[in-house]
Amino acid sequence: MSEAPVLSVENLTTSFLVDGAWKSVVRDMSFDVRPGETVAIVGESGSGKSVTSLSIMRLLAPGSSRIEGKILLAGKDILALSEREMRGVRGNDASMIFQEPMTSLNPIFTIGRQISEVLIRHKGLSKQEARAETVRLLEKVRIPNAASRFDDYPHQFSGGMRQRVMIAMALASRPKLLIADEPTTALDVTIQGQILDLIKVLQEEEGMSVLFITHDMGVVAEIADRTIVMYRGEQVETGPTDEVFLRGRHPYTRALLSAVPKLGSMKERKWPTRFPVVDIKTGEAAEPAEVAATVESGRTPVLAVKNLVTRFPIRSGLFSRQTGAVHAVEDISFDLFQGETLSLVGESGCGKSTTGRSIMRLIEPTSGDVSLDGYDVRALDQMGLRNLRKSVQMIFQDPFSSLNPRMTVGAAISEPFIKHKLGSPKQARDKTADLLERVGLSPAMMSRYPHEFSGGQRQRIAIARALSLDPKVIVADESVSALDVSIKAQVCNLLLDLQQSLNLAFLFISHDMAVVERVSHRVAVMYLGEIVEIGPRAAVFENPQHPYTKKLMAAVPVPDPARRGIRRGISNEELKSPVRSMDYQPPKREYREVSEGHLVQVA
């Protein structure tokens, strides 16, 4: 380790101009990245990890930001360079990949052109030479039929493939440092596994260093040699990854780690378990309590779905004739009992959200039976549908867009109560105050607007709103996915508490296997619109039978530094699409009973 570091950051402080005053968002960061090393910066949103990476590349708006300290990149004093000289560093000495593969490529240029640009800019290649080199790069990132895809546009690629294009672009000039800013956060878990493997392999091949920015402790454990933990703009802990994970000194590090749901941590437990509540000051965790039994099985299920099918027609041609259909939900059946949490898990496009919306008839199902709290859902007229809303409510993923910014929180929560004429304005007020207290907020907050709340608080408000009609079933569609780990843990705990006190039934839709393992009684794994495996949580997680379930679980990164060497084998398999032609006849599916209530689709 006597080699000079590729990147050396000393006392980095970055400030933004806010309302005429400089406000520091990153304070006094110092670290090195040595040749061939992977360093992870981990932290929750607002911790300053992305700002750190943008500071190193000097990509922040010059007028409204100020970078102080010293940054040495490949021997160059970054902060002393002119903007022109800096352009010779970006994409050349260090390059960057970003979180959103869907929007990080320019939609109107071919991917070939966008990669060639780097080669022409930094290596002085001719167009012809750049083309040949680009094809070689595309092959390197394992894009099938690389040569024929040179002239394709970004929209012709899936998210995972676009991230490969981004990586090819970043590697084009053989940089000494690759800065990866949440490169896998927007990807499905099996695709995430592929991209992580790809980065590891390419790093070995090219001998470059990687600065990896993420909020996901599982990803950190898998990829990083050394880890930096950031909290509110400060570097609270730095060290070899296993040191940080096993013997974290700073209380925040321990708090963060204990809030992370770990796949496989629920063995031997019978019921859903609350997340440990950790004191950020001391880092001490209270041992989580198991939730008492709430499920009333044996009785009539509150929600019974039989052979539900939802398809979306695809039209094309001069007269918009139907040429095919997206088989979003294909012949699924399940029951949900009062007080129970059934989770639907799967990757994007598997039909889990469509299922949730179909049973509420927010989307019109194609066929099948849904019986919810005594209603024959598919037969309801407009009036009946309105009454149905009293029995089933929904909580959405994004608490920033699911609340009307022009409505006070109180108005948002009491609106369903008032619109359904359940009582006087006074009663609505009391109800709202009660609900706010139930979700851990203060009734005094009623007259505030959503922008005054944090993401976690907004999700609590959304939960209070869903509860205002005293529903029996709540469809929680990725309701905790957008939240930071510590907030995620709190909201999950809230849901478990509410289930206990109100005897709610949850249809918990999520892609996050570790959270699902924690909160569910039963789990249904969905793939291409079908349920491939369903059963009690312990049975599905400890004895997965279907190949897709196994694949899904193997892909989940586990925050355990012992798994650092893990390789899943380079693959570029894509998620399959449930688009079918008109004459497609869905095969009749058979299920095999593994143990009591544990059913697996027979291939």
Partner 1 sequence: MPVYIGKRLLVAIPTLLIISIFVFSLQKLLPGDPILAMAGEERDPATIEFLREKYHLNDPVPVQYVHWLGGIVTGDFGISLRTNQPVLELVMQKLPVTIQLAVMAMIISLMIGIPMGILAAVKKNTVLDYIANIVALSGLSVPNFWLGIMLILLVSVNLGWLPASGYESIFVDPVRSIQTMIMPAFVLATALAAQVMRHTRSAMLGVLSADYIRTARAKGLSPREVILSHSFRNALLPVVTLTALLFGELLAGAVLTEQIFTIPGFGKLTVDAVFNRDYAVVQGVVLCTAVGFILMNLLADVLYVLLNPRLRATL
What is the contact surface with partner 1 in residues (CB under 8 A)? Answer: 57, 59, 87-92, 95-96, 98, 100, 103-109, 117-118, 121-122, 153, 155-156, 166, 169, 316-318
Cβ-based nearer residue to partner 1, 90 or 580: 90
Strands 38-42 and 209-214, sheet pairing? parallel
Cβ-based nearer residue to partner 1, 113 or 226: 113
Residue with tokens 């944090």: 454
Report d(CA 336, CA 376) in Å as an integer: 15
Transcribe 400-414 into DSSP letters: TTSS-TTS-HHHHHH
* Least distance (Å) between residue 409 CB and partner 1: 29
Which amino acid does the sequence have at 168?
A: A
Within 13 Å, how many C-alpha atoms sit on residue 124's CB side? 1
- Do 524 and 333 meet the contact criterion of CB atoms below 8 Å apart? no
* Least distance (Å) between residue 289 CB and partner 1: 43
* Least distance (Å) between residue 227 CB and partner 1: 24
Strands 7-18 and 21-33, sheet pairing? antiparallel
Report d(CA 87, CA 91) in Å as an integer: 8
Partner residues linked to 95 by β-bridges: 178
- Do 388 and 376 meet the contact criterion of CB atoms below 8 Å apart? no
- Do 337 and 297 meet the contact criterion of CB atoms below 8 Å apart? yes
Cβ-based nearer residue to partner 1, 49 or 465: 49
* Least distance (Å) between residue 92 CB and partner 1: 6
- Do 526 and 351 meet the contact criterion of CB atoms below 8 Å apart? yes
Cβ-based nearer residue to partner 1, 114 or 355: 114
Residue with tokens 């203060």: 442
* Least distance (Å) between residue 122 CB and partner 1: 6
* Least distance (Å) between residue 154 CB and partner 1: 8
Which phi and psi (to 5°) does residue 431 adopt? Answer: -60, -45
- Do 150 and 111 meet the contact criterion of CB atoms below 8 Å apart? yes
* Least distance (Å) between residue 99 CB and partner 1: 8
* Least distance (Å) between residue 133 CB and partner 1: 15
* Least distance (Å) between residue 462 CB and partner 1: 27
Cβ-based nearer residue to partner 1, 136 or 315: 315
Transcribe 462-530 into DSSP letters: HHHHHHTT--SEEEEESTTTTS-HHHHHHHHHHHHHHHHHH--EEEEEES-HHHHHHH-SEEEEEETTE
* Least distance (Å) between residue 79 CB and partner 1: 17
Report d(CA 510, CA 213) in Å as an integer: 24
Cβ-based nearer residue to partner 1, 85 or 205: 85
Which among 600, 594, 590 is positioned nearest to 534, based on CA atoms? Answer: 600
Cβ-based nearer residue to partner 1, 98 or 231: 98
Which among 454, 520, 26, 44 is positioned nearest to 257, based on CA atoms? Answer: 44
Report d(CA 221, CA 560) in Å as an integer: 6
* Least distance (Å) between residue 213 CB and partner 1: 14
Number of other residues whose CB lies within 10 A of the CB of residue 31: 18
Cβ-based nearer residue to partner 1, 317 or 565: 317
Q: Residue 182: left (phi > 0), alpha (psi -120 to 50), or beta?
A: left
Cβ-based nearer residue to partner 1, 400 or 449: 400
Distance of CA 550 to the CA centre of its chain: 20
Number of other residues whose CB lies within 10 A of the CB of residue 98: 21
Cβ-based nearer residue to partner 1, 183 or 410: 183
* Least distance (Å) between residue 93 CB and partner 1: 9
Within 13 Å, how many C-alpha atoms sit on residue 3's CB side? 11
Report d(CA 6, CA 384) in Å as an integer: 66
Which amino acid does the sequence have at 398?
A: D
Cβ-based nearer residue to partner 1, 66 or 551: 66
Cβ-based nearer residue to partner 1, 90 or 164: 90
How many residues comprise the chain?
A: 603
* Least distance (Å) between residue 188 CB and partner 1: 19
Cβ-based nearer residue to partner 1, 63 or 298: 63
